[in-house]
Chains A and B, each alone.
Chain A
Amino acid sequence: MSALAVLAEAPALPLHTAGKYVAAAYIVLFAIVLIYVAIMGIRLSHIERDLGELLELAEQSGTPAALESPERESTLA
């Protein structure tokens, strides 16, 4: 017997109804993560675009220090 203290007035929902609620709750968690993935994806594309512009800028200005693009440690490989 479970030791969890629960109000006995609400009888346990049958599996097919309870299943929907449980699924909904886990979908919330999934959604949080997926939304984050999307946000990160957008940011990544912005960064890529910005770095492209910067590379052009560097080639234009022709400074030696700038041409040597800094080592970018790949954290997402």
Chain B
Amino acid sequence: MYGKGLRTLSITTVGAITLALALVFFYAPLEAEQGFLQKIFYVHVPLAIVSLCGFVLGGLLAIQYLRTRDPRWDMRSYVVIHMSLIFAVGTLITGSIWAKGSWGHWWVWSEPTLVSYLIVFLLYATYQPLRFAIEDPERQARYAAVFAITAGAFVPMNFIAVRLSTAYLHPRVLGSTANLPGPMALTFLVSLGAIALLFATLCKYELTAKHARAQIRALRRRLSGESELPRRPRSAVPSAAQPATIGARVAGGGAPS
């Protein structure tokens, strides 16, 4: 049952985002060098951190799948990676906007975060095509898990490698997160929390929706009296939960657990 707690989570997220925005624009002091432009920091860096953690989390969930072979872990891994990819695109776009504002170019090689993100994005962009290219659902889940674990381990290594390579070219353009003065640090933490909550909420939405669709399919199958699973068209998306158990629950007439 994925929808449980979704309401609380959504409301908390709304509160957190509102608070974060308020802090960013009304509380955080104006930064001396970059001025108003620096405010992008409060949306770009949290997006970056959350998507980074999301990719690694996707790998961890995939490990769980390989250990238990329960397709629900595969589903969670898929959703988390999918969402992290979207947030990574957001990172790249906001980073690019910031680079344009502070450096005059839409892309700068001297900013290691952006470069690392580009590489990570290019890697994870192959996740969906990889899944789509494998028809057998069990093998699709298994291969996707291997990919998710490899890529999840790769993310931190990639960051370190890129940071090492750019350190010797130029000083960083977009600033570092070390040594933030108090009010800025607080604002940053709240923003980070807000984006993390947003990530969690959207993932939960996604999981709930997929699960609901699967339940509807099972219900339809049950009502029209078919006993067999109709052939699903080729898809990159893992199917949610076991149809047999859902059917049993519905037949019992009770609330879905």
Contacts and interface: CB of A to CB of B under 8 A. Distances in A.
Interface of A: 1-8, 10, 12-15, 17-19, 21-22, 24-26, 28-29, 32-33, 36, 40, 43, 47, 50-51, 53-54, 57-58, 61, 63, 65-66, 68, 70-71, 73, 75-77
B109 interface: no
B33 A4 contact: yes
Contact of B7 (A7, A22, A71, A77): A77
A47 B36 contact: no
B187 to A, nearest CB: 13
B32 interface: yes
B223 A13 contact: no
Nearest to A33: B198
Closest 7 pairs between A and B when the two form their complex, measured CB to CB: A12-B35, A75-B3, A21-B101, A3-B179, A71-B255, A18-B36, A18-B37
A2 B181 contact: yes
By secondary structure, the A interface counts as helix
A5 B222 CA distance: 63
B176 A5 contact: yes
B101 A6 contact: no
A25 B41 CA distance: 9
A24 to B, nearest CB: 5
Interface size class of B (residues with CB under 8 A): 35 or more
B38 interface: yes
A14 B90 CA distance: 25
A32 B86 contact: yes
B163 interface: no
Interface of B: 1, 3-4, 6-7, 21, 31-40, 43-44, 47, 86-87, 90, 93-94, 97-98, 100-104, 170-176, 178-181, 198, 202, 205, 208-209, 212-213, 216, 219-220, 222-225, 250-251, 253-256
A6 B33 contact: yes
Given A70-B256, A71-B254, A77-B7, A50 B44 contact: no
Contact of A70 (B4, B170, B253): B253
Nearest to B216: A50
Contact of B33 (A12, A47, A53, A65): A12
